[in-house]
């Protein structure tokens, strides 16, 4: 670790004030040496050990990975959790029905007995972070191929993880940083009994929906409330009525003091992925393949989904979470593509690459060590282009053909082969016990799938996706069902092909599948049109993945060498590692910004601004009558600003990305002042190129959160659990 400390200290000292200091997602063990001076200057009143300590309770002990893609924080001695509404959206949706539509109406448990269980929801605490670079690279030798290097690293990783996991129930993993040049061990503890406590109606928690997403000014009360439970011994335990609210090592006090421009702001959370070491070749791949594909395909699918959602309340409940998961990064792609082009990021990267090309040939050692880095990245990205484009279409189009995946969301594809293969094997074996187990497994998967599935919607979407795939991709990448079935049997008519599939397949509805599973027949399964079609698709997918993978080793090697070279080439630049879903700290201040000529955005929005956007009956901008009435009366309780308004959201200069959703935004005393939930449109290229003048974090003000709980919803008992600082 001393070597890494030394390099980073030099980089930061050289960096000085040439770039804004609030750039960076920092590793917690490094903040004492790298960040405390600047943070203290900006207004931090805490020590490094108050933030991250192995010897005593610290702020990091109140920060959780919420589910698998968000951040949350503990805010009471009884395990109360705050996170974003969009992070809890899937759980809120899962409990919603036409009779009890918690998405539309909100939900508040007025006692612990009313809290709702969530079988697939977990929260994870970080126990410690430890650098293990020397151990991981001990057997890596110069001249190794990428495969040999990976094997040596994985062998060392397994030894370290096994040792760290001995005698405990912790989850341990070694993660790479700086493109595989450094490695850290991360030790976690996961709790699986997490209950829904409260959520505002979507007209508050999702106010503005797609139109306002990634935009400022923002007026969204993006929060939800959960509670984590433990066994009676305080340890993780599966759900039980005997479980007790977790007694956390640390929880965050909550400040309802006024916020002012220039106030210090600190965020701890789990940012997902940034790519700030990306080369111009990879940016070109984003501009030519990734973003255009995502924008086009998801746009078509979402239009179909939204039309059905607006026509039927049940369909709206079924598809709300899926639609949001799709549309969030659809709009992200629109924004990032525009930002990369508007800010000319590719040209800026090319300028750095030109500097590298001059620097690397200055000495024989540099040329020998790093000379091929850029060429390797260029060769890999250009060589895999047609495969990469096809994989984008396969993944995105399959997400628009739900029956082919039986997935319960949009983040992960489950192949029909994975669902069906165990039953086929069981039926061939003739073993009744194995058949029963396979049937039970499919019923478990399918019951969750069909709950949020509407066959007519999927029928329309599937027709559009299969037509789009065939039209946009060359014939060599077409699954053989197009020729063998669509053309031969249906004379090229995809609509008739899909209608026939929904008519004949045992997977087309839950009732048909259950009837089949009660008396499964091997021949019926092996000749099922959904099964045959997906088999054809995944055969192509495997071939395309194989074609693309031949470029993986070169790209991995090139990127590792490129990042290492940058750390030597430009010591005046700060070099924090890219985000990789590990806990990071970012710091900044509350600030407004100037997005374009003659326009200034102030740093906060108000409840009156919410009312000004009100559109009765509009799915994005409708509002509950109670909120309008409270605003008209200026009934803000103790949560209104002393300046006479009810705050809703505010801006900071913190550096965050996806995964930071729900992260606590804290003041200089470590008190919670808001929940991070978005970035601003003008800096959508920020995951690739940080823009210090434009980059802003959008935060829901904690005073708005508490006002909705207490004054609007009458759930004052939840506020009473918290330590409120006035």
Tell me which residues are annotated as active site: 86, 222, 661
User: d(Cα 335, Cα 694) in Å, to the nearest integer?
Assistant: 14
> How many Å separate Cα 640 from the centre of its chain?
32
The count of other CB atoms within 10 Å of the CB of residue 330 is 23
Spatial distance between the Cα atoms of 428 and 420, rounded to a whole number of angstroms: 13
217: cis peptide before it, omega within 30°?
Answer: yes
Q: Which residues pair with 540 in a beta bridge?
A: none
Q: Are 612 and 208 in contact (CB under 8 A)?
A: no
CA distance 701 to 606: 10
DSSP type of residue 590: B
The token pair that represents 462 in the structure block = 């599937």
Contact 277, 565 (CB under 8 A): no
Are the C-beta atoms of residues 671 and 252 closer than 8 Å to each other? yes
Q: Bin 78: left if φ > 0, else alpha if -120 < ψ < 50, else beta.
A: alpha
Torsion, Cα 51 53 56 60, to 10 degrees, reads 50
- Record the tokens describing residue 317, joined without a space: 């409940």
What is the number of H-type helices and E-type strands within the chain?
A: 31, 22
2 burial (CB, 10 Å; 0-12 / 13-18 / 19+) is exposed
Tokens of 492: 């090229």
The residues, ordered by sequence, that sit 6+ positions from 331 with a Cβ below 8 Å of its Cβ are: 210, 213, 214
What is the token pair recorded at 5? 């400390």
The closest alpha carbon to 170, from 129, 119, 121, 227, belongs to 129
Nearest CA to 449 out of 400, 402, 416, 415 is that of: 402
What is the SS3 assignment for 634? coil
Beta bridge partners of 75: none
Instruction: Give the number of other CB atoms < 10 A from CB of residue 520.
Output: 17
**Four-point Cα dihedral 57, 62, 66, 71, nearest 10:** -120
Degrees (nearest 5) of the Cα angle 619, 625, 630?
125
Q: Of 446, 18, 329, 75, whose CA–CA distance to 224 is shortest?
A: 75
Q: How far is CA 295 from the centre of its chain?
A: 18
List the structure tokens of 125: 């605490």
Q: Find all residues with CB under 8 Å of 433, minimum gap 6, and list them.
A: none
- Angle ∠(260,16,345) on CA atoms, nearest 5: 85
H or E stretch covering 123: strand 123-131
126 forms bridges with which residues in the sheet? 188
419 with 406: CB under 8 angstroms? Answer: yes
CB 190 within 8 A of CB 67: no
Given a contact cutoff of 8 angstroms between Cβ atoms, the answer to whether 64 and 243 are in contact is no
- Percentage helix, strand, coil for the chain under 3-state DSSP, each rounded to 5: 50, 15, 35
> Which residue's structure tokens are 């003048």?
693
Bridge partners of 107? 199
| Strand-pair partners of 439 | none
Cα–Cα dist 201/204, whole Å: 6
């Amino acid at each position: 670790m001393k070597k890494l400390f030394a390099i980073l200290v030099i980089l930061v000292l050289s960096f000085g004030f040439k770039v804004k200091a609030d750039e960076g997602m920092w590793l917690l063990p490094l903040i004492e040496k790298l960040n405390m001076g600047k943070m203290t200057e900006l207004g931090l009143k805490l020590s490094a050990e108050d933030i991250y300590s192995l010897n005593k309770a610290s702020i990091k002990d109140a920060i959780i990975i919420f589910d698998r893609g968000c951040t949350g924080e503990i805010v009471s001695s009884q395990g109360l959790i705050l996170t974003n509404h969009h992070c809890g959206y899937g759980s809120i949706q899962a409990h919603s029905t036409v009779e009890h539509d918690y998405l539309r109406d909100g939900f508040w448990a007025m006692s612990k007995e009313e809290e709702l269980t969530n079988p697939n929801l977990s929260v994870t605490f970080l126990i410690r972070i430890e650098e293990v670079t020397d151990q991981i690279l001990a057997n890596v030798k110069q001249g190794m191929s990428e495969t040999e290097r990976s094997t040596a690293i994985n062998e060392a990783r397994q030894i370290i993880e096994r040792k760290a996991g001995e005698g405990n129930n912790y989850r341990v993993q070694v993660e790479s940083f700086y493109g595989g040049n450094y490695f850290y061990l991360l030790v976690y503890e996961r709790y699986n009994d997490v209950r829904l406590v409260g959520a505002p109606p979507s007209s508050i928690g999702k106010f503005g929906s797609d139109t306002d997403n990634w935009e400022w000014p923002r007026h969204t009360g993006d929060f939800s409330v959960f509670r984590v439970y433990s066994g009676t011994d305080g340890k993780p335990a599966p759900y039980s009525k005997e479980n007790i609210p977790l007694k956390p090592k640390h929880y965050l006090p909550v400040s309802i003091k006024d916020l002012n421009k220039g106030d210090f702001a600190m965020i701890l959370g789990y940012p997902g992925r940034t790519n700030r070491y990306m080369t111009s070749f990879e940016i070109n791949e984003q501009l030519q393949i990734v973003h255009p594909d995502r924008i086009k395909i998801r746009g078509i699918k979402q239009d179909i989904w939204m039309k059905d959602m607006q026509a039927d309340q049940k369909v709206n409940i079924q598809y709300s979470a899926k639609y949001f998961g799709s549309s969030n990064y659809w709009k992200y792609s629109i924004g990032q593509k525009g930002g990369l082009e508007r800010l000319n990021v590719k040209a800026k990267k090319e300028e750095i690459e030109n500097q590298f090309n001059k620097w690397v040939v200055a000495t024989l050692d540099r040329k020998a060590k790093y000379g091929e880095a850029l060429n390797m990245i260029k060769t890999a990205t250009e060589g895999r282009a047609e495969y990469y484009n096809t994989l984008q279409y396969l993944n995105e189009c399959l997400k628009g053909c739900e029956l082919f995946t039986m997935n319960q969301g949009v983040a992960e594809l489950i192949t029909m082969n994975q669902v069906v293969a165990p039953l086929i094997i069981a039926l061939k074996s003739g073993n009744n016990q194995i058949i029963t187990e396979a049937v039970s497994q499919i019923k478990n998967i399918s019951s969750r799938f069909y709950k949020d599935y509407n066959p007519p919607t999927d029928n329309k979407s599937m027709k559009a996706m299969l037509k789009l795939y065939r039209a946009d991709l060359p014939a060599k990448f077409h699954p053989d069902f197009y020729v063998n079935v669509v053309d031969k049997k249906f004379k090229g008519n995809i609509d008739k092909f899909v209608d026939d599939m929904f008519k004949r397949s045992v997977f087309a509805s839950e009732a048909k599948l259950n009837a089949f599973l009660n008396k499964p027949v091997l021949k019926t399964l092996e000749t099922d049109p959904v099964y045959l079609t997906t088999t054809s698709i995944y055969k192509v997918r495997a071939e395309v993945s194989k074609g693309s993978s031949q470029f993986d080793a070169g790209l991995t090697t090139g990127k590792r060498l490129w990042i290492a070279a940058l750390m030597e080439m430009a010591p005046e630049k700060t070099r924090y590692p890219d985000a990789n879903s590990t806990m990071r700290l970012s710091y900044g201040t509350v600030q407004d910004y100037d997005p374009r000529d003659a326009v200034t955005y102030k740093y906060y929005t108000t409840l009156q601004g919410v009312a000004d956007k009100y559109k009765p009956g509009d799915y994005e901008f409708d509002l509950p009558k109670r909120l309008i009435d409270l605003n008209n009366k200026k009934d803000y309780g103790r949560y209104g600003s002393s300046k006479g308004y009810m705050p809703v959201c505010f801006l900071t200069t913190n550096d965050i990305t996806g995964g930071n959703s729900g992260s606590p935004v804290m003041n200089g005393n470590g008190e919670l002042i808001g929940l991070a939930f978005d970035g601003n449109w003008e800096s959508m290229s920020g995951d690739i190129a940080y823009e210090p003048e434009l980059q802003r974090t959008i935060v829901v003000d904690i005073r708005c959160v508490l006002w909705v709980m207490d004054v609007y919803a009458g759930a004052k008992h939840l506020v009473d659990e918290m330590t409120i600082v006035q």
